[in-house]
Structure 1
Amino acid sequence: MARRSRGPAAAFALIALLSCGDFASAEGVTIPNFWNPRTRQERMETQPSARAVRFLTDDEFPPLHFAGPDGAPTGFVVELARAVCERLAMTCTVQARRFDTLLDALADRQGDVVAAAIPLTPALRARFLATRPYFRWPARFAARTDRNQPAPSAAALAGRSVGVVGGSAHAAYLKAFFPGAVAKDFTDLATAEGALRRGEVDYVFADGLNLALWIGGVEAANCCAFTGGDYLENRYFGEGIGLVTRADEPALSRALDDALQRLWDEGKYAELYLRFFPLSPF
C-alpha cells in the first residue's frame, strides 16, 4: 500500500477534524469487522505480563500512526495498541522509530511488538508471528459528485475512463475484472485525483484509505465521493496489518489476538475507529 506523505501540520489538522469482513455502521461511518464469531468459544484466560511490553511504531503515517501535538505517538494503530495493553492489564511503552527499521528492531529485541502499517505477507510470517488482521486496505472507486456516474460494475464501466496508478495492483485488478473500462495511467495517486477533480477522467480506482483522506480534505474541495463498495481480494490488495511479535513469543501473540477480539466485542474498536476515521475507507 502506497504511503501518502503528510507532515505534522496535516496530522494536527486531522486531529482537529476528529472529535473479508463484515461491517457495522455508526454515525454514518462504516466500521469493518475482521473477527470470526466462532473464535469467541476459543478464548484463553490471559495473565498480566511481569515485564513492560515495548511497542514499536512509526510517527509519519496519519491516521494510523503519527506524532500528536505533544510529540508523542498516537493514531488509530497506536491507540488500539494502548487499549490492548489496558485490556490485558499489561504495562506497555510505545516508541516511535523510522518505519523501515521496525522489523529489524523487533528481531534485535529492541522492542516486543510492532504496531504499524506493515503488510502481512508470507515473507513476514516466515520470520515473525502476527495476530489476525485488525485493518485492511480496501480498494475503492471515487467519482465526481456532479456527474451522476453509475455505480461501478463491469457493464457500467464499459467505455468509461478510470484513473489508476500505472503498474499498481489497482491497475491490474481493473484490467482483470473491468475489462471494458478505459484505464488512464498516472504516475501517482495525487495526479490521478487532480484529473478526477478537473473532470478529465470519470472515476479513480485506488487505495481506499488514501482516497478517504483526499475526499475528506481541502484538496478535493467537495468535488468527489466514493461510489460503489469496497474490494478486498487478498491476491491483489494483501491480507492487511496485525500486531507483529517475534516467533519465540507465541503466548504474547495469542494474548494480543484475544484482546483485539474482546475490544471489538466491547465496542472499543468502534470507538477508536470513529475517532480516527471520520470518513471510512470502507
Structure 2
Amino acid sequence: MSPSPVPSVAVPGFWDPKRRPDRPDITRLPTQIRFVTTEDYPPFSFRGEDGRPAGFNVDIARAICSELAITCTLEIMPFDELVAALDDGKADAAIAGIAITPASREQVDFTDRYFRSPARFVSRRGDSLTSITPVSIASKTVGVVGGTAHEAFLRDFFAETAIRSFPDADAMREALRKGDVDLVFGDGVQLALWLNGTNSEGCCAFVGGPFTESLYFGEGMGIAVKRGNETLRQSLNYAFAQLWEEGVYTDLYLRWFPISVY
C-alpha cells in the first residue's frame, strides 16, 4: 500500500503534543455553547450564498461542538459588540479573529492560539530571489500599506530597502502586478487569497518568510470567553487538542487556505 501524499500546503500546529489538556467534566458546562462571530472577515467568518454563517471560524466552532458532544448556537454580530455580549452573559464564546494582545487580555480570557497570520513578501514570478534578507533586497522597492505594523517592521529591519507606502492593500497589490514595485509585504492570509484569485492574474508568488514577530504582528487568534470562565476555556482547549490530534483541524485548514500561508 503506497503512503498518502504529503500535502503541499504547510499546516501550522499550535498545540504541544506533550501537553494534554484534561478531559472536561461535561456536567459543569452549560447545556449549550452560544458562539458569536462576525460576517465581515472572510475567509474566517462571513455569510455564504445561502445567507448562513460560513468560514474557517464557523467550521472550527462546529467541530468543537461535535468533539464535546454539546449543542451550540452561532450568532452574527458587529465586532465591537462581541466583548459586551460575553460580559453581559448574552454569549459564551466569541470566535471572530480576536487578536490575543496585552490589551485584549484585560477584557477577556483566551483559549490557546488556534491561528496566526504571518507577514509575507510576494514577488513577481520569474524574479530570481530565493530568500529574503536585508542584504538580498537592499536594491529592491517594496510596497506596503502605510501606517501598518508591516510598514513599521520594514522600516525597523529593512532600512536599506526602498519602501513605498500605499493607501490600501488593493493599490499595493496592483502596483506589484503592474511591476511598479519589486515586492510587497503584508498579511499572509490576504496575500494568499489574492494569489489564489483572478485579480492577481497569476502574476506573483510568495518568497521568503514567514515572519511572525509577535511585537509587530501579535500573538495570533484565540477564542474569547468571559474573564474567569475557566471551565469553558479549558474545555475548548481540550477540544482544540483533540481536533489537532485527529486531523480535523488540518482538514479544515486545507479547505480554507489552499495556498500555504506559511
- TM score, norm. by length of structure 2: 0.94
Structure 2 stretches lacking a partner, 5+ long: none
Cα distance per residue 1:122-159 (max 9 Å; x no partner): 12211211101100120000000033334211110112
CA separation in 2, counterparts of 1:70 and 1:53? 24
Structure 1 residue corresponding to 2:26, chosen from 42, 47, 53: 47
Structure 1 stretches lacking a partner, 5+ long: 1-24
CA separation in 1, counterparts of 2:111 and 2:170? 32
Q: What letter corresponds to residue 144 of structure 1 in structure 2?
A: R
CA separation in 2, counterparts of 1:222 and 1:256? 39
Q: What letter corresponds to residue 57 of structure 1 in structure 2?
A: T
> Does the aligned pair in 2 maintain the 1:67–1:73 contact within 8 Å?
yes
> Does the aligned pair in 2 maintain the 1:137–1:238 contact within 8 Å?
no
Runs of 4+ aligned structure 1 residues displaced above 3 Å come to none
Structure 1 position 39, deviation (Å): 1.1
Aligned pairs (5 A) from 1:95-114:
95-114=75-94
Q: Which residue of 2 aligns with 1:275?
A: 255
Identical aligned residues as a percent = 42
CA separation in 1, counterparts of 2:39 and 2:145? 26
Structure 2 residue corresponding to 1:197, chosen from 136, 154, 177: 177
Cα distance per residue 1:217-265 (max 9 Å; x no partner): 1110000110112111110000111111001311000100111011001
> Does the aligned pair in 2 maintain the 1:46–1:88 contact within 8 Å?
no
Structure 2 residue corresponding to 1:34, chosen from 7, 14, 21: 14
Structure 1 position 61, deviation (Å): 1.4
CA separation in 2, counterparts of 1:161 and 1:99? 35
Q: What letter corresponds to residue 241 of structure 1 in structure 2?
A: M
Structure 2 residue 151 is matched with structure 1 residue 171 = yes
Structure 2 residue 238 is matched with structure 1 residue 238 = no
> Does the aligned pair in 1 maintain the 2:109–2:224 contact within 8 Å?
yes
- TM score, norm. by length of structure 1: 0.87
Higher RCO (CA < 8 A, seq sep 6+): 2
Structure 1 residue corresponding to 2:128, chosen from 130, 143, 148: 148
Structure 1 position 60, deviation (Å): 1.9
